[in-house]
Amino acid sequence: MKFGRYAATLASLSLFASTLAAPLVQKAPLPQTKEQKEAERQKQIERAKNKYFHEPGGTHQLGHYDARYFHGVVSDEERTDTQLTMIRAYLDFFRENGLDTWLAHGTLLGWWWNGKRLPWDWDMDTQVSGATLARLGEKHNQTMTEYVSTDGVTKRKFLLDVNPWIWERERGDGANIIDARWIDTQNGLFIDITGLSETHPDTKPGVWVCKNYHRYNTADLYPMRETVFEGVVAKVPYAYDKILVQEYKEKALVVTDFEGHSWNMNSKEWIKTQAQIDKEKKEAEEKVKKEAAAAEKKKQDAERKELEKGKKRQESQKKYDDDQQKKKVEAEQKRSKQEEGEGQD
pLDDT in tens, 140-189: 999 999 999 888 888 999 999 999 999 999 998 899 999 999 999 999 99
* pLDDT at residue 332, as a whole number: 84
pLDDT in tens, 242-252: 999 999 999 99
First vs last Cα of the chain: how many Å apart?
A: 142
* pLDDT at residue 77, as a whole number: 94
Residue 216 sits at φ, ψ, to 5 deg, of -140, 145
Q: Which CATH number fits domain 50-257: 3.30.460, 3.40.91, 3.40.1360, 3.90.400?
A: 3.30.460
pTM of the model: 0.76
Q: Give the closest residue to 191 by CA, choosing from 220, 253, 234.
A: 234
* pLDDT at residue 26, as a whole number: 53
Would you list the domain boundaries of the chain?
50-257
Peptide bond just before 223 cis, omega within 30 deg: yes
Tens of pLDDT along the chain (345 residues) come to 433 443 343 343 333 333 333 444 556 667 878 776 767 666 667 667 889 999 998 788 899 999 999 999 999 999 999 999 999 999 999 999 999 999 999 999 999 999 999 999 998 999 999 999 999 999 999 999 999 988 888 899 999 999 999 999 999 889 999 999 999 999 999 999 999 999 999 999 999 999 999 999 999 999 999 999 999 999 999 999 999 999 999 999 999 999 999 999 999 999 999 999 999 899 889 988 988 898 899 989 989 999 899 888 998 888 998 888 888 888 888 888 877 776 666
Residue 160 sits at φ, ψ, to 5 deg, of -95, 110
Angle (CA) 195-199-202 rounded to 5° is 150
* pLDDT at residue 345, as a whole number: 61
DSSP lists the bridge partners of residue 270 as 263
Half-sphere exposure (Cβ direction) of 289: Cα atoms closer than 13 Å: 6
Secondary element (H or E) of residue 87: helix 76-96
* pLDDT at residue 29, as a whole number: 67
Residue 288 CB partners (closer than 8 Å, separation 6+): none
Q: Can you tell me the distance from the alpha carbon of 275 to that of 271, in angstroms, rounded to the nearest whole number?
A: 11
* pLDDT at residue 287, as a whole number: 85
